[in-house]
Amino acid sequence: MAKRLCKFNRHEISANLGDIHRLVAEPKFLCRSCSRSSSDRSTLCKPAAIPPVSCQEKPVEEKIKCGLLLESIKPEGIISKQTVLEKQSEAQVVMFHEPESLNKKALKRASKALKKQTKMQKKLQKIIRKSQKLARKQSKLEQKYHLAEVVADKQLEKVQPEQLH
């Protein structure tokens, strides 16, 4: 069985049912993403070790000592002086690094805004050029129409009203 249990389709499951029963009979690992259990770590996509029952029945103080149970214990029950000190020192380190990261973020946002603004200005310039071109075409057409109207009026004056009937 080279494939992970998560990837099996129903035909493969029915074909490898014996191997699957063997793997699941005494599970030692649990998949974090799909919550399948197996005795072999390689058949799960994100395996996590299942702690023994003896460790699970201990009080919270002793569960902390068992490394396998650290993930399952709620963080509210684990707070100690050492962890508080570590968090404070991390907070101080973060405070020193925040201005740089904020500065970088602000700089990145400003450059994005500038790029967006130049893009919009370019679009506006294009629209202005297009509208000016259309205005020139319109004026040419109006002049042409006016000229044609003047020519038509002159021709009508030449034509005698008697000739029209």
Q: What average pLDDT score do residues 134-138 get?
A: 95
Q: In terms of domains, do 67 and 109 share one? A: no
Q: What is the pLDDT of residue 38?
A: 79
Q: In terms of domains, do 53 and 89 share one? A: no
Which of 26, 47, 74 is a domain's end point?
74
Q: In terms of domains, do 25 and 70 share one? A: yes
Instruction: Phi first, then psi: give them for residue 138, nearest 5 degrees.
Output: -65, -45
The residue range of the domain holding 54 is 5-74
Q: What is the pLDDT of residue 64?
A: 64
Residue 53: inside a domain: yes
Contacts of 8 (CB under 8 A, 6+ apart): 16
Q: In terms of domains, do 70 and 85 share one? A: no
Q: What is the pLDDT of residue 6?
A: 72
Give the count of domains, the chain.
2
Residue 37: inside a domain: yes
Q: What is the pLDDT of residue 36?
A: 77
Cα distances (Å, whole numbers) of residue 54 to 39, 41, 57, 64: 18, 21, 6, 14
Q: What is the pLDDT of residue 125?
A: 96
- Using CA atoms, how far apart are residues 25 and 3, in angstroms rounded to an integer? 18
pLDDT at position 146 over 60: yes
- Using CA atoms, how far apart are residues 75 and 89, in angstroms rounded to an integer? 19
Q: In terms of domains, do 87 and 39 share one? A: no
